[in-house]
C-alpha cells in the first residue's frame, strides 16, 4: 500500500473523460496519463502535456537531407567528374544547380519523412516486439481510461481520489498497487 | 468537440457506436474468408504467376521478346509504367492533400486507397527495372562509389530523377500508411483470441498503447507527413512527365506535360479507387461508412481532373498548329487521323467525354454508372499513355523507318500479370488488414454520424449490451427526490405500484435507448430511479398517465421498449 497506488478510471465517452479531467485538474489533481482508442482533441493542455517537438525535428532532418544532397551532387557532378554535355562541361555548381533541384527536393522529403518516422517510433517506444501497456484491452476499442497515481497526488488520500473520480461519470474503476 | 452543420449529409450512416465501428471493420478479418474471396484470389494468383513466368522468361531471353523495334523503342513497358504510377497517385492525394484540407470524408477511404497506391507503385516500379535489360545491375542507378573510375549516374537526366522520385514516393507512402495502421493493428491485437493472430498483430502493432502523448505525436507525424507527401505527389508525376518533356521528340517536348500528367494521374487514380471501393464496400458490408456521398465526392474529383485533362488535350492540339512547327503539327495530325486513330479517339471519348456526364447529379450518385465510368476511365488513361508513347514514336522524321507496334504475348503477359499481382496484394490486404482507418472514423463519429446529427443518439456513444455496471457506485444526488408535487394522484398511484426505490439504489436510466437526460430527470422526479421499477411496469394497464406526463419522448411504445430493456439488464446483472 502506501504511495504506490494507481487508479485506472474507465469512461465510455471521450467528452465525459475530458470534462472529468478538467474538473479533477481544477481541484489540483495530476492526471498521469490517458489511454484512448483515438486521439481526444484538446486533452493535452488539460492534463498538462507539452506540444510535441517532432515537427521541429522533421524540419532539421529535412535540412540535413538538403545539405547532403547538395554536397553529394556538387562532388559527383562538379568536382569529381564535370560531365560534358553538348560541349558545356559542368564547372560551376550554381549554374548547374537547376538540374539538381528535383533530386534535392526528393532527398529533403526522404530524410524528413523517414528520420521523423524513426524518431517517432523511438520516442513513442513503439518498436516491433514491444509489449503493449494499455491497462485494459478495451481501450483500443471503445473505452477511455484515465490513469491517476497516488505518488503524483500526495496532497490527497487514496479515499479522496477515489471519491473525486466517482463523481466524474466513470463506468469502472480499477486500482493497482505497484511496488 | 467539432460541430458540423446539420444540413451536411452524415458521413457515417445509421446508429453506430464506437464499438460497432470496431466490430464492422474487424469482423471480416477475424472470421473465415467468404468463398468469393478464395475464388477471386485464385484467379488473381494464377494471372499473377503467369505474369511472373513471362517476366522470368523475358529476363532469361532479353528485351527482344517484347515487340519493340528500332523506331518504337518504348511502347507497352513505359505505357504500363506510367499507367500504374498514375493510379498510384490517388491514395496519397486522398490521405495527404485531403488531410491538409480537412476533408473528413477521406477517412473512410484513405486506408484502402493508400494500400492501392503502394501496390500500384510496386507494379509501376517493375517496368523500368525490367526495361533496364540487366536487372541484376539495377543498383547502378544509385550513386555508389565503384571500381569503374569516376562513373557516376547522370544527375542531369530525368530518368535518374525518376529513380529518386519513385523510390522516395514508395517508401514515404509506405511509412505514412503504416504509421496510420499501427493503432488499428493494436485494436485487432486486443480483440484477437487465437494465439497466433495475437502474436502476429502484437508484432505488427509495435506495442501501441494509445497514450495521450502517443496520440499527440501521432497527429503531428500525420500532419507533417501529409505536408511532405503533398508536394511529393505532385513532384512524382511531374518528373515522370519530364522523361518525355525534356526530350526533343515532336509531341513530347511540351511544357504543358507536368500539370497535365499530374491531373491525369489523379484522374486515373480516383477511377481505380472507385473501381475497388464499390466492390469492397459491398463485399465487406461497409455501406454505412462508404456511401453514396463518398462516391459522389470522388466523382466530383474525377469530373474536375477529367476536365483539366480535356483542356490539356485541346491545348496541346491547338499549340501544335499555332506553334507553326510542322513536325509538331504532324505528330498530332498523325495521332488523330493516322493508323492509330482508334487509340486517340478511344482516349478522347473515355477521358474527355465520359467524366463530363458527372455534371448530372443523377448519374454521379448512381453506383452502377460510377462503376462503369471508372472502368472506362481506367481504359482511357491506358490509351492516353499509349497514344503519347507509341503513336508519337511510330512515325519519326524518316518515313523509311516508319513502323507499327505489335505486342508479343510476353508484352501482354507482363501487363496482365501485373494486374493479377496487384489484385493478389489488394485481396491479401483486405483479408488481413483493417480496411477502414478505425481510429480516424471514430473521431468523426460524433460530429458526422447520422444518429448523432439527428440528435436521437445517446451520448455517451456506447452500446447497451456492452455496458458494465458492476463497479459503478454513483454518488447519491443531492436533490430531494421524494417531491412528487408535479404529478397528480393517478400518476402517484401508478408509480407506487412499481415498488419503492431508495435514491442511493439509483440506476443510470439514460442507458436505455432513446432515454435522454430530460426524460431521466422527469422519471426521477416522480420516483422512478431503478431498472427494477421500470421492469415492473405492467404493459396491460393504462400507460397513458405516464405517457402524458413524459411528453413527446415518452410514447407508450417507448415505455414498453424501456421496460423490456430494463428486464434484460436485470437479467444480465444477476448473472
Contact criterion met (CB < 8 Å) for A113 and B229 = yes
For residue A160, what is the domain's CATH number? 3.30.70
Q: Give this prediction's pTM.
A: 0.80
Please tell me the predicted confidence (pLDDT) of residue B476.
Answer: 37
Query: Could you tell me which chain B residue has the CA closest to the CA of A126?
Result: B206
**Mutate which of B154, B200, B211 to test chain A, going by most A C-beta atoms within 10 A?**
B211
Taking an 8 Å cut-off on Cβ atoms, the answer to whether A80 and B214 are in contact is no
Total length of chain A:
179
Contacts of B45 (CB under 8 A, 6+ apart): B420, B424
List, for residues B503-520, the tens digit of each pLDDT value. 667 777 777 777 777 777
The answer to whether residue A131 sits within a structural domain is no
Asked whether the beta carbons of residue B471 and residue A173 sit closer than 8 angstroms, the reply is yes
Q: Are residues A43 and A59 both part of a single domain?
A: no
Cβ-Cβ contacts under 8 Å between A and B: the total is: 231
- Given a cut of 90, whether residue A5 has pLDDT beyond it is no
- Asked if the Cβ–Cβ distance from B150 to A112 is below 8 Å, we say no
Number of neighbours of residue B57 by Cβ within 10 angstroms: 14
Q: A178 vs chain B: nearest CA distance in angstroms?
A: 19
* Residue B464 binned pLDDT confidence (cut-offs 50, 70, 90): very low
In-domain check, residue A82: yes
Average pLDDT over residues B39-51: 94
Closest chain A residue to the Cα of B229, Cα to Cα = A109
Nearest to B224 by CA among B394, B314, B99, B103: B99
pLDDT at B46 over 90: yes
> Which of B19, B146, B192, B224 best tests the A interface by mutation, with the highest count of A CBs <10 A?
B224
Assess if residue A105 is contained within a domain. Answer: yes
For residue A113, tell me if it sits in a domain: yes
* A37 shares its domain with A65: no
Contact across the interface for A11 and B460, Cβ inside 8 Å: yes
In A, minimum Cα distance to B464 occurs at A12
Please report residues of A whose CB lies closer than 8 A to that of B462: 12-13, 142
Are A66 and A34 part of one and the same domain? no
Co-location of A67 and A93 in the same domain = yes
Residue A81 shares a structural domain with residue A141: no
Helical H runs in B323-403? 326-337, 341-348, 354-356, 361-364, 367-386, 392-393
Q: Domain span at residue A59?
A: 54-124
Domains held by chain A: number: 2
pLDDT at B462: 46
Q: What is the least distance, in Å, from the CA of A44 to any CA of chain B?
A: 7
Residue A102 CA: distances (Å) to CA of A92, A108, B165:
18, 10, 8
Last residue of a domain, one of A124, A152, A168: A124
The stretch A116-131 carries a mean pLDDT of 88
Does A59 share its domain with A120?
A: yes
The pLDDT, as a whole number, for residue B568 is 76
ipTM: 0.91
Contact A35 B466 (CB under 8 A): no
Q: Do A54 and B225 make contact, defined as CB atoms within 8 angstroms?
A: no
- Helices (H) and strands (E) counted in chain B, each on its own, are 25, 0
Does B480 score more than 50 pLDDT?
no
Considering only CB atoms, B220 lies closest to which of A37, A54, A96, namely: A54
Residues A98 and A142 in one domain: no
In a domain, A129, yes or no: no
- Taking CB atoms and an 8 Å limit, are B438 and A37 in contact across chains? yes
**Mean pLDDT (whole number) for B184-194:** 87
pLDDT, mean over chain A: 84
Q: What is the mean pLDDT of residues B539-558?
A: 69
Residue A44 shares a structural domain with residue A59? no
- Decide if A130 is inside a domain: no
Residue of B nearest to A11 (CA): B460
On the question of pLDDT at B255 being above 80, the answer is: yes
* Angle at the Cα of B56 from the Cα atoms of B53 and B61, rounded to 5 degrees: 125
Determine what percent of chain B is predicted with pLDDT higher than 70: 88
Average pLDDT for B341-345: 92
The partner residue sitting opposite B206, judged by closest CB among A38, A49, A127, is A127
Mutation target to probe the B interface, by most B beta carbons within 10 A, among A113, A125, A134, A136 is A113
Contact B233, B258 (CB under 8 A): no
Q: How far apart are CA B22 and CA B439, in angstroms?
A: 9
Task: Give the residue from chain A lying closest to B189, CA to CA.
Answer: A137
- For all residues of chain B together, what is the average pLDDT? 83
Fold of the CATH domain B18-138+156-453: Formate dehydrogenase/DMSO reductase fold (1.20.1630)
* Per-residue confidence (pLDDT) for residue B467, from 0 to 100: 40
Pairing of strands A144-149, A84-85: unpaired
Alpha-carbon distance of A107 to A63, in angstroms, equals 10
Residues A12 and A66 in one domain: no
CA–CA separation, B190 and A51 (whole Å) = 28
- Specify whether A60 is located in the same domain as A107: yes
Q: Which of B156, B202, B466 sits opposite A85 (nearest CB)?
A: B156
Question: Does any domain span residue A132?
Answer: no
Helices (H), B354-455: 354-356, 361-364, 367-386, 392-393, 409-432, 438-448, 450-454
CA distance, residue B410 to nearest chain A CA (Å): 34
pLDDT, residue A68, reads: 94
Q: Do B224 and A120 touch (CB under 8 A)?
A: no
Tell me: do A87 and A118 sit in the same domain: yes
Q: Choose, out of A7, A120, A147, A165, the residue to mutate when testing the contact with B (most B CBs < 10 Å).
A: A120
CA-based end-to-end distance of chain A: 8
Angle, to 10 degrees, between the axis of helix B212-245 and the axis of helix B257-283?
Answer: 130
Could A113 and B471 be called an inter-chain contact, meaning their C-beta atoms sit closer than 8 Å? no
State how far the Cα of A19 lies from the Cα of A27, in Å rounded to an integer: 13
Average pLDDT over residues A141-156: 82
Say if A39 falls within a structural domain. yes
Count Cα neighbours of B228 within 13 Å in the Cβ-side half-sphere: 32
Q: Give the pLDDT confidence of B394-446 residue by residue, as tens digits.
A: 988 888 989 899 999 999 999 999 999 999 999 999 888 988 888 888 888 77
Chain A: give the shortest CA distance to residue B432, in Å: 18
Q: Where are the domains of chain B?
A: 18-138+156-453, 483-574
Per-residue burial over A91-124, b if 16 or more Cβ lie within 10 Å, else e, is eeeeebeebbebbbbbbbbbbbbbbbbebbbeeb
Residues A102 and A155 in one domain: no
Amino acid at each position: 500500500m502506501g504511495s504506490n497506488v494507481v487508479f485506472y478510471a474507465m469512461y465510455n465517452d471521450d467528452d465525459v473523460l475530458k470534462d472529468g479531467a478538467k474538473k479533477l485538474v481544477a481541484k489540483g489533481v495530476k492526471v498521469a496519463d490517458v489511454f484512448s482508442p483515438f486521439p481526444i482533441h484538446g486533452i493535452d493542455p488539460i492534463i498538462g502535456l507539452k506540444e510535441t517537438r517532432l515537427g521541429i525535428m522533421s524540419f532539421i532532418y529535412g535540412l540535413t537531407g538538403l545539405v547532403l544532397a547538395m554536397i553529394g551532387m556538387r562532388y559527383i557532378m562538379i568536382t569529381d567528374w564535370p560531365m560534358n554535355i553538348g560541349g558545356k562541361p559542368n564547372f560551376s555548381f550554381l549554374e548547374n544547380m537547376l538540374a539538381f533541384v528535383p533530386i534535392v527536393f526528393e532527398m529533403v522529403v526522404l530524410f524528413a519523412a523517414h528520420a521523423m518516422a524513426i524518431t517517432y517510433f523511438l520516442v513513442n517506444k513503439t518498436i516491433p516486439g514491444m509489449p503493449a501497456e494499455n491497462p485494459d484491452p478495451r481501450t483500443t476499442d471503445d473505452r477511455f481510461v484515465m490513469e491517476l497515481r497516488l505518488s503524483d497526488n500526495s496532497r490527497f488520500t487514496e479515499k479522496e481520489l477515489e471519491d473525486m473520480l466517482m463523481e466524474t461519470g466513470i463506468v469502472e474503476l480499477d486500482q493497482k498497487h505497484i511496488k | 468537440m467539432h460541430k458540423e452543420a446539420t444540413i451536411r449529409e452524415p458521413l457515417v450512416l445509421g446508429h453506430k457506436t464506437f464499438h460497432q465501428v470496431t466490430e464492422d471493420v474487424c469482423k471480416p478479418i477475424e472470421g473465415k474468408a467468404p468463398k468469393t474471396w478464395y475464388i477471386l484470389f485464385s484467379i488473381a494468383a494464377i494471372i499473377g504467376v503467369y505474369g511472373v513466368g513471362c517476366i522470368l522468361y523475358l529476363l532469361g531471353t532479353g528485351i527482344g521478346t517484347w515487340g519493340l523495334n528500332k523506331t518504337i523503342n518504348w511502347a507497352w513497358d513505359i505505357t504500363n509504367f506510367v499507367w500504374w504510377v498514375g493510379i498510384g497517385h490517388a491514395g496519397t492525394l486522398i490521405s495527404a492533400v485531403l488531410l491538409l484540407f480537412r476533408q473528413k470524408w477521406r477517412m473512410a477511404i484513405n486506408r484502402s486507397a493508400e494500400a492501392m497506391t503502394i501496390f500500384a507503385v510496386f507494379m509501376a516500379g517493375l517496368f523500368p527495372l525490367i526495361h533496364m535489360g540487366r536487372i541484376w545491375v539495377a543498383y547502378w542507378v544509385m550513386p555508389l562509389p565503384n571500381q569503374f573510375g569516376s562513373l557516376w549516374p547522370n544527375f542531369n537526366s530525368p530518368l535518374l530523377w525518376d529513380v529518386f522520385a519513385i523510390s522516395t514516393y514508395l517508401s514515404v507512402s509506405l511509412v505514412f500508411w503504416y504509421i496510420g495502421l499501427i493503432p488499428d493493428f493494436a485494436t485487432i491485437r486486443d480483440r484477437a483470441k487465437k494465439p497466433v493472430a495475437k502474436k502476429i498483430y502484437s508484432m505488427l502493432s509495435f506495442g501501441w498503447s494509445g497514450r495521450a502523448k502517443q496520440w499527440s505525436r501521432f497527429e503531428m507525424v500525420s500532419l507533417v507527413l501529409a505536408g511532405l507527401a503533398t508536394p511529393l505527389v505532385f513532384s512524382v508525376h511531374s518528373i515522370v512527365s519530364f522523361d518525355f518533356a525534356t526530350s526533343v521528340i515532336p509531341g513530347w517536348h511540351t511544357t504543358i506535360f507536368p500539370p497535365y500528367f499530374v491531373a491525369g494521374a489523379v484522374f486515373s487514380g480516383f477511377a481505380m479507387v472507385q473501381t475497388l471501393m464499390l466492390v469492397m464496400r459491398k463485399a465487406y458490408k461497409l455501406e454505412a461508412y462508404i456511401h453514396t456521398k463518398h462516391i459522389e465526392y470522388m466523382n466530383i474529383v474525377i469530373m474536375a481532373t477529367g476536365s483539366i485533362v480535356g483542356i490539356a488535350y485541346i491545348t496541346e492540339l491547338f499549340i501544335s498548329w499555332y506553334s507553326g512547327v510542322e513536325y509538331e503539327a504532324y505528330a498530332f495530325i498523325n495521332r488523330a487521323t493516322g493508323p492509330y486513330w482508334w487509340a486517340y479517339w478511344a482516349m478522347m471519348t473515355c477521358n474527355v467525354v465520359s467524366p463530363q456526364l458527372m455534371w448530372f447529379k443523377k448519374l454521379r450518385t448512381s453506383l452502377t454508372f460510377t462503376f462503369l465510368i471508372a472502368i472506362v476511365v481506367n481504359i482511357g488513361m491506358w490509351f492516353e499513355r499509349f497514344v503519347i508513347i507509341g503513336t508519337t514514336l511510330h512515325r519519326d522524321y524518316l518515313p523509311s523507318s516508319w513502323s507499327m507496334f505489335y505486342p508479343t504475348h510476353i508484352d501482354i503477359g507482363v501487363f496482365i500479370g501485373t494486374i493479377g499481382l496487384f489484385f493478389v496484394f489488394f485481396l491479401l490486404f483486405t483479408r488481413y488488414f483493417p480496411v477502414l482507418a478505425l481510429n480516424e472514423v471514430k473521431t468523426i463519429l460524433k460530429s458526422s454520424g447520422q444518429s448523432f446529427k439527428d440528435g436521437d443518439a445517446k451520448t455517451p456513444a456506447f452500446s447497451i449490451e456492452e455496458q458494465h455496471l458492476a463497479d459503478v457506485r454513483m454518488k447519491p444526488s443531492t436533490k430531494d427526490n421524494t417531491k412528487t408535487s408535479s404529478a397528480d394522484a393517478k400518476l402517484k398511484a401508478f408509480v407506487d405500484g412499481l415498488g419503492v426505490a431508495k435514491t442511493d439504489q439509483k440506476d443510470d436510466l439514460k442507458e436505455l435507448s432513446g432515454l435522454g437526460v430530460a426524460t431521466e430527470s422527469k422519471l426521477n422526479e416522480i420516483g422512478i430511479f431503478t431498472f427494477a421499477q421500470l421492469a415492473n411496469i405492467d404493459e396491460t394497464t393504462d400507460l397513458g398517465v405516464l405517457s402524458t406526463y413524459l411528453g413527446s419522448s415518452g410514447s407508450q411504445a417507448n415505455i414498453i421498449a424501456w421496460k423490456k430493456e430494463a428486464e434484460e439488464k436485470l437479467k444480465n446483472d444477476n448473472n
